[in-house]
Structures are given as structure tokens and as C-alpha cells.
Structure 1
């Protein structure tokens, strides 16, 4: 079952790349007492994700934060090394936190996984965005397959 507005974000562990190597980030710590804009992409370095999705949030980071968002998070079913390299190549440092959902546990717990085995990508996360306030989903925007509209930075900014 897919998570809905008004529900608490499930417990999960992400990994982030630091100068000392990968470091775990618990969802409870990430969302507790904070307003977080989170977006999920099917894969780092993939065409739409690299050309539009991540750059949109990097470009709009200051505007999003000016509307009361404490942190902007990008997640994908990739490892922390890939997410770190992708964030660095996109200029995300200091603007968008790149959190790896390496095993897909977070998107599975949200009910937002997708089967991309036909494209050779395995099980991934759907393209979506959400606003989470103190651990509760207050906005949820899930894309139709192969679409990029409602999960964009511009769309989420309009909801703030």
C-alpha cells in the first residue's frame, strides 16, 4: 500500500557519502522536528534525472529553503558512492543532500517501488516528491510512468 498524506514516514536507513566514506542516516533523525523536501529518482546519472530533476532542485534550493524547508533530499536506489559522485557532478553540495536507498528499503516501505528489470535496472524507486513535516507526509506527488511533471522542484515550490 502506498503511503498517503497524513501518514508518518516509515523507519529506514539511508547512506550518505562523507569525506570519511559512507555514513548511515536514520529516517527518524532526518525528519524529526524538521520540514524536509524529499524527491526520488529512478537512478543517478539517468537522462531525465540528470538533465532535469536534480538540476531543478539545485537551481531552486534557495527559493525552497526561503519557504521554510530545512533540508532538500534526493534519494535513489543506488549506492552512496554513486549518489555522492552524482551530487558532486551536479553541483548539489550544500544545496541538496544525496541519500542512497541502496537496497530500496525506503521506497518499498513507502509502497513506491517500481520494477525496472525490463530496462536492466532491477527494482527501483518511482519518480516522486514529498514534503515531510516532523515525520508526517504533508504533500505527495507521484509521477505516472515515464513522466516528469508533479515531482519537479517548480511544482513542489508552488505547494509551499
Structure 2
């Protein structure tokens, strides 16, 4: 069952992409006592993720942060090499926090996994965005169509933050 508003983020250790080797970070340290925007994408370098989803968060990061957000996190079911290459390719390393959910553990714990084998991708993340405040989900935006990034995009999230 997918995570919902009011639920707490499960306790896990994640792989955060850095300039050097990936760094382990717990969900408690990432989300505890902080307000964080998280967006999940089906795959680094995939067309919608690269052209439509990630760019909005990179371009609007200062406005999002000025709305009381401590960090913007991108999660994808990819290994750390792919995530680092994608972050560098998109000039987003250091601007957005990239999490390599290489084994799909975080995505599955959230109940936001999907079998995209028909498209040659295997088990991946649904496309979503959410706001996490001190470890609890306060907003969750799930895309109906993984080929679109409207409901879960930065523009929609900014509207929510402006309310």
C-alpha cells in the first residue's frame, strides 16, 4: 500500500551522491527536524525525467528553498554511478540531492514501486513528489501517467507551497 499523507518515512539507510564516493545517510538524518521536498523518477536519463521532471526542480530550487524547504531530493532506482553521471550531465550535482535507490528498498518501503518491465525498465519508482516535514508526509503528488510530470512537477509543488 502506498505511503499517504500523515505517514512517517520508514527508517532506512540511503546512498547519497557526492562529488566523491556515495555517502550513507539515514532517513532520520535526512528528514528529521527538517522540511524536505522529495521527487521520485522512474529512471535517470529517461526522456520525461531528463527533459520535464528534473529541470523544473533545478530551475526553481531557490524559490522552493525560499518557501521554507531545507532540501530538495531526487530519488531513482538506479545505481550511484548512473545517478552521479545524470546529476553531472544535467548540471544539478550540489544543487539537488540525488539518492541512488539501487535496490529499490526505499521506493518499495514507500509502496511507490511499479513493474515497468513492459517498457524494458524492470521494477522502478512511480513518478511522484512529496513534502516531508520532520519525517512525516504532508503532501503527496502521484502521476497517473509516468510519461508526464505535471502533477508531480516543480510548478505544481510551488503552487502548494504558496498556499
* Band of TM-score, shorter chain: over 0.9
Q: How do 1:82-93 and structure 2 match up within 5 A? A: 82-93=82-93
In the alignment, what sits opposite 2:63?
63
Equivalent runs, 1:34-73 vs 2, <5 Å: 34-73=34-73
Residue 106 of structure 1 corresponds to which residue in structure 2? 106
TM-score (norm 1): 0.96
Q: CA RMSD in A?
A: 1.0
SS in 2 for 1:81: helix
Deviation at 1:52, TM superposition (A): 1.0
In structure 1, the residue matched to 2:6 is 6
Counterpart residue number, 2:159:
158
Question: Does the residue aligned with 1:131 lie in a helix, a strand or coil?
Answer: strand
When the two structures are aligned, how many residues end up with a matched partner?
A: 160
Secondary structure (helix, strand or coil) at the match of 1:18 reads coil
SS at 1:52's partner residue?
A: helix
TM-score where L is the length of structure 2: 0.94
Greater mean alpha carbon deviation, residues 137-146 or residues 56-65: 137-146
* Aligned-partner Cα distance in 2 for 1:25–1:116: 27
Counterpart Cα distance in 2 of 1:126 and 1:34: 24
Q: Is the CA contact 2:84–2:93 (under 8 Å) kept in the aligned structure 1?
A: no
1:121 & 1:134 partners in 2: Cα distance? 33
Contact 2:141 2:151 in 1 (8 A): yes
Q: Check whether the contact 1:15–1:80 (CA below 8 A) recurs between aligned residues.
A: yes
Q: Gaps (5+ residues) in structure 1?
A: none
Residue 81 of structure 1: how far off its partner (Å) = 1.2
SS in 2 for 1:11: coil
Unaligned residue ranges in structure 2 (runs of 5+): none
Structure 2 Cα separation of the partners of residues 26 and 94 of structure 1: 19
4+ runs of 1 displaced by more than 6 Å?
none
Is residue 37 of structure 2 the alignment partner of residue 32 of structure 1?
Answer: no
The aligned residue for residue 133 of structure 2 is: 133
